[in-house]
Structure 1
């Protein structure tokens, strides 16, 4: 099984970014790393990261902790057709979706993150999907040109593809943006750059 072992967020102030992710989400170096970068970037960086949890109270807790740690609210945490969720933007610019498929609490708030999902905004769904299939990823779910999710049974991070404009709408941000994505994806696939400019590196 092909795995994404970790994500590396590039930030102008890596020490501050590390503090934010520890305080807001309790994420350590296993799934999320931070490194310094002054690469030019502006607007939407073309991706979001989702933290999937079991119930609304956990979403609310993560959301409030993120705001207290300096995040910007993009969408308030509330019920929707598909469940419960909210969206925040970290001080370094990364957009985070905090979500649960449940609309009601069913147990104590244990602040456990069940899944970390990287959603890449792509220009051509068919081309990007084929690109990753050719590199060994297996499609788990696919809805035409609207969404593709790859299997990730044992992977610390799950990969999904979304049309860039649609992803921006879901995240509550304008889709215009240029420059660096300020993201490195560490996996056992090796080093390469995908059709939308997202950089992958060999996990170490």
Structure 2
């Protein structure tokens, strides 16, 4: 396994969720899809999805589109040491970070997304890193026991690991949560669950 092929969000109403992601972000359902689930879940689900864009104006455009489509703002878009970004919660409960490393606009504002990143909040980053390396992923960046980013090909969802409580703080929510993560990750691999209970499925064959 070298990368994530897709992620599937488990939601109460797939039709409404698919409409939200199309209207708010224009996401490719082959990359970020939805399916029905009534698995119990409460509080922080232990992950966020990030949309990385080229400039602050693009962050604002996507942030507004998400709110207009029914999302709840968790953190307003604002400048920070690393760039500019904000956080929203989709109607299905998924938390999305919208961010750029750029400090100012350098071109026309668009809603074009450069990269989608799945950030898993884990209890032990070093143990999670070792686990995923054993599954075949290659480390791209690593900062001790705080954060690790895996190298993936262009056009794929990037995978990163972060301390759970730190990720919840970034998202602007309490770290406590119980029940299902409400996300399934697909890759060219056998089905498995990682040390923090995130579920992976084998990518369905096509053709």
TM-score range with shorter-chain normalisation? Answer: over 0.9
Q: Report the Cα distance in structure 2 between the residues aligned to 1:53 and 1:78, rounded to whole angstroms.
A: 14
* 2:48 counterpart residue number: 48
Look up the match of 1:126.
Answer: 126
Please state if 1:81 is matched with 2:85: no
Q: Please report how far the alpha carbon of residue 51 of structure 1 lies from its aligned counterpart in structure 2 after TM superposition.
A: 0.3
Following the alignment from structure 2 to structure 1, what is the Cα–Cα distance between the partners of residues 190 and 83?
36
Check the 8 A contact 1:59/1:100 in 2, yes or no.
yes
Deviation at 1:137, TM superposition (A): 0.6
In structure 1, how many angstroms separate the alpha carbons of the residues matched to 2:110 and 2:40? Answer: 39
* Displacement after TM superposition at 1:190 (Å): 2.6
Question: In the alignment, does 2:11 pair up with 1:22?
Answer: no
Cα deviation, residue 188, structure 1 = 1.1
Distance in 2 separating the partners of 1:69 and 1:195: 35
Is the aligned partner of 1:105 residue 2:105? yes
Equivalent residues of 2:115, 2:155 under 8 A apart? no
Q: How far apart in 1 are the matches of 2:60 and 2:31?
A: 22
Q: TM-score, normalised by structure 1?
A: 0.98
Task: List structure 1 segments (4+ residues) > 6 angstroms apart after TM superposition.
Answer: none
Secondary structure, counterpart of 1:24 in structure 2: helix
The residue aligned with 1:171 is 171
Which ranges of structure 1 fall in alignment gaps of 5 or more residues? none
Alignment correspondent of 2:187: 187
Q: Deviations over 1:121-173 (max 9, x none)?
A: 00111111100000111111110111000001335100000000000001101
Pairing 1:145–2:159 present:
no
Give distance in 1, aligned partners of 2:111 and 2:9.
Answer: 22
RMSD: 0.9
